[in-house]
Amino acid sequence: MSVQVQQARKGSMSWIVGVIVAIFLLAGCSSTTTVGSDTEPCSPGFQPANEFGSISAQQAGPGDGIQWGVYPNTPADTYSVDIYINGKRVDHKDQDYQPHGSVNAVDVPSGAIFQLTGTATLGSDIAYFYLTCRGA
């Protein structure tokens, strides 16, 4: 297991984004990438990246919906993504291209916790990814 932590500063505010990548050699390969927290703001945007690609969530401001996307640097045969607002699933996608979408503003109360969970599969290799941030 390897752990990578990046620290970024914007004015007097600083935050730490932890990117945890674990690789297990079983029948195939599996890796997990987790980014964000319930205190990381989605607004105006949160787009952490590492060597595997990037995941993004953007919200223009309070009362607006959240746009999201998964942008891997490596190909996959299939993607499966679930989107949660305050623990309630509001979207699900199974597809063969990079997933992206939006959550309607009526489903995003002020301060809501946005979570994206998903997998990218290529043959027997599976990458798991998770993103969490707080709406405006």
Per-residue pLDDT of 9-67, as tens digits, reads 232 222 222 222 222 222 344 555 566 777 889 999 999 888 888 999 999 999 999 99
Per-residue pLDDT of 61-89, as tens digits, reads 999 999 999 998 888 999 999 999 999 99
pLDDT at 96 over 50: yes
* Domains along the chain with CATH numbers: 2-134 (2.60.40)
pLDDT for res 23: 24
Q: What's the whole-model pTM score?
A: 0.74
Q: What angle do CA 74, 79, 82 make, to 5 degrees?
A: 130
The four Cα atoms 21, 126, 92, 73 give a dihedral, to 10 degrees, of 70
